[in-house]
A and B are shown apart, each in its own frame.
Chain A
Amino acid sequence: MENIIEVAGLRKRFGRTVALDGLDLAVRSGEVHGFLGPNGSGKSTTLRVLLGLLRADGGEAVLLGGDPWRDAVALHRRLAYVPGDVTLWPSLSGGETIDLLGRLRGGLDAARRDELMARFELDPKKKGRAYSKGNRQKVALIAAFASDADLLLLDEPTSGLDPLMEEVFRRCVAEERDRGRSVLLSSHILAEVEALCDRVTIIRRGKTAESGTLTELRHLTRTSVEAELAMAPPPGTLEALPGIAALEVRDRQVRCEVDTDHLATLISALSVCGVAALTSRPPTLEELFLRHYQDDLASAGAAR
């Protein structure tokens, strides 16, 4: 599959602050790609480089086969962007803003716009200055979803939406994928990414920490296992297994974490003792995420 976004070794500094420090990112055509990272890790900077709003200091970025800086206008006809902090024109109504942004992008589907306005329960007659944060976000989202862009760049688009509207948003993203569009979804809401994304890139301090499908990423981390055995395991056997951690053996109760690659070894070792009950839980995205940032948290704790 061809990559719709291809970023390699991207660098960007603002004065002395390093915002991007060799970032890699590949978004395949037709996928919903999660772009995860804590505040200030460089997600928005990456998107703004991809939009040609910022000029990269180094590295390569290819967007829809073009150069995001040089070919900005031509590329923008094929993408729609929702900023993280939506500011509207104070004297324009929401409906006017949606139509304007659509027309500037080269057209929008009026029927789809009306349908989206109904689904997001947006009152299009309110003036830009009167909308709440969530409603401003809806205006930008409707303008993006109603466009016929190939690529949607969404920067933390649900931070102001209520849970009901977030559900509507998720359905819209799923529909977009079904229609063959690609989505780059920057977020720090893990449940959202887990529910929507085919592949994920985790960014940390301006660098790619991890990238792949959720299944692939899960392989890189540990599964928690809880088992009740028919007989207590002989001491020392479980400890000797490869990739095992946080082992707790209390008589016939076993609780541990195991590298997902070594799960099979653990199961066979347990079955020797006769398994009465077994629960195995794959790592959540939270755990994945936390694992990458544990160092940051630990050093922050140490610094304190």
Chain B
Amino acid sequence: MSATAFAGVPDLTKLITRRERIRLPIWCYAILASVGGTAYSFKTLYATPESRRQFADGIGRNPALAVLYGKPFDLTTIGGLTMWRMGVFGAALLAVMSIITVNRHTRAEEEAGRFELVGAGAVGRHAPLIAVLRLVLGTQFALGVIIGVVLVALGEPVSGSFLLGLSIAAGGWVFAGVAAVTVQLTDFGRSAAGLAFAVLGAAYLVRAIGDGSGADGPTWLTWLSPLGWSEQTQPYAGDRWWVLALLVLGTAALIAVAFRIAAGRDLGSGVFPARPGPAGGGRLLGSVSALSFRMQRGNLLGWATGLLIGGAVLGSIADSIGELLGSSARVQQLFERMGGQSGIENAYLASAMNIIGLVAACYAVQTTARLRTEETSGRLEPLLSTATGRLRWAASHLAYPLLGSALLLVIAGAGAGFAHGGRSGSLGTQLAQLIGAGLIQVTAVWVVVGLTVLAFGFAPAATAFVGWSAVGFCILLQELGPILKLSHWITDISPFSQVPRAPGVPVSAEPLLLMTALGGALLVAGLIGFRRRDIG
């Protein structure tokens, strides 16, 4: 690479940093808080080595948890517990951050035509990629170091703490490299991101299978996944720094490949040629609903697949949760506080369904926010200048957050029901119970959708902000409320804490109807605002 390839990198880095000045700190804060909070709660919940040993006895026998979180290496220390619970998970979160950020500032910029504007200046053709990689890798490195400092401050060994922080960071690095490659391949930002997310999903799955298999199984699969490498650094349990070197080398190799491909392609095009579409609209493309379906179907399919797998994984853990937690009276107490009265298994399943409800709320907010992006992109204007009314158009999109999320909850409930019922031998009952337990979450999702639509009607620029803040707030209350022993008065603000804790408790219709009414009222108010306001 010649020196001119670096021209403009400092200025572009400044530009990208400015555009990311809110998002990246939020990512970093969320991940730091999760890791630090996990370590802190382990420290308070399992203060004695004896309680940790009991906890470890339960986990050691449960392959399902290894599938979900990764293999535990040393559960007798706070650090080891934190690594097991947050190592792979944190690396996967940073991977998501990498993919989104790298794509936003490379392929998406090219696609929008903005890079042409920048690229015509004294800017090297690889400058955007170099600038965004510099920012992402640097930020994640700093985050890794800070995580290390926090863990040391909590009293954990220095070497293991920094290795844990950097292992999580390096998971993000590899996927920054993956995204750097995928953005070269297609000419469409959304496909480039989708491709990188598929690689991330595969990496998670391959590691999950490897970690979940017994000694005779294909444990080597873990080593095929970068997320497996993040786990295999084994902080606090041997501190294998050389595995970290593997992650760094992998990142470097991917970035080298990305630059190699970038050097051989034209601006705006990808390696895969764009496929032509049909010359005319098929019979199915005749209404605004059909158009919305075209735009939403891929996304819905992706979420459905994810939630089916997620539901199945969560369901498959259920029958071993009792033996896992039976050893610690304190934890049993905690989980009952989180879940319900009748039996730890039902309490666990109710919590799992609550988590799935929150995931469905993320889908709902993402698809509701689509209303606003369609408007600002200028694609709404030509539609509304046909014989399509505003409400008709809004309804065609709102079907996804309102009904699509219900479908997702049914699918996740079915996945959990099959997995749990199949193992416990009561398929029919479990299937019906868990689908029901999933579906009632939709009433809480509707409240979040209603709030987002309200913003869309009256403060359209704040649509996404309001929606994501609402979901973030609910997640925070749901996850931290019970651990921090917040009073019910506060946790009850979240609609998700109003949903009956099924299975295991009788489902009363009252809260469900109330939330449906509230969601409906917010939705109607928002739509009235949208009908009355200016477009654009």
Contacts and interface: CB of A to CB of B under 8 A. Distances in A.
Contacts of A278: none
A105 interface: yes
A83 B276 contact: no
Interface in A111-131: 124-127, 129-130
B281 A99 contact: yes
B279 A95 contact: yes
Given A93-B277, A93-B278, A81 B190 contact: no
A101 B379 CA distance: 11
Interface in B255-279: 274-279
B266 to A, nearest CB: 13
Q: How large is the interface on A (under 10, 10 to 19, 20 to 34, 35 or more residues)?
A: 35 or more
Contact of B386 (A76, A86, A98, A126): A76
B279 A93 contact: yes
Interface in A53-104: 53-55, 72-74, 76-77, 79-81, 83, 85-93, 95-101, 103-104
Interface in B45-97: none
B381 A53 contact: yes
Interface range, B side: 35 or more
Nearest to B290: A100
Centre residue among B188, B190, B277, B385 by max chain A CB count within 10 A: B385
B281 A103 contact: yes
B388 A73 contact: yes
A140 interface: yes
Contacts of B21: none
B294 A92 contact: yes
A48 interface: yes
Chain A contact surface mostly: mixed
A92 B293 CA distance: 12
B279 A125 contact: yes
A55 B532 CA distance: 8
Given A87-B377, A96-B285, A129-B111, A104 B277 contact: no
B278 A103 contact: no
B16 to A, nearest CB: 23
Interface centre among B277, B286, B381, B532 (most CB of A within 10 A): B277
A11 to B, nearest CB: 14
A105 B387 contact: yes
Nearest to B268: A130
A127 B535 CA distance: 26
Given A83-B378, A125-B277, A126-B276, A90 B188 contact: yes
Contacts of A80: 385
Contact of A140 (B274, B278, B382): B382
Interface in B382-411: 382-389
A103 B533 CA distance: 26
20 contacts: A53-B535, A54-B534, A73-B387, A76-B384, A76-B388, A83-B385, A86-B382, A91-B277, A95-B277, A96-B277, A96-B285, A98-B280, A100-B285, A100-B291, A104-B383, A104-B388, A125-B276, A125-B278, A127-B274, A130-B187
Given A80-B385, A90-B190, A101-B382, 12 more contacts: A48-B535, A53-B534, A54-B534, A54-B535, A55-B534, A86-B382, A96-B281, A98-B281, A100-B291, A104-B387, A125-B276, A130-B274
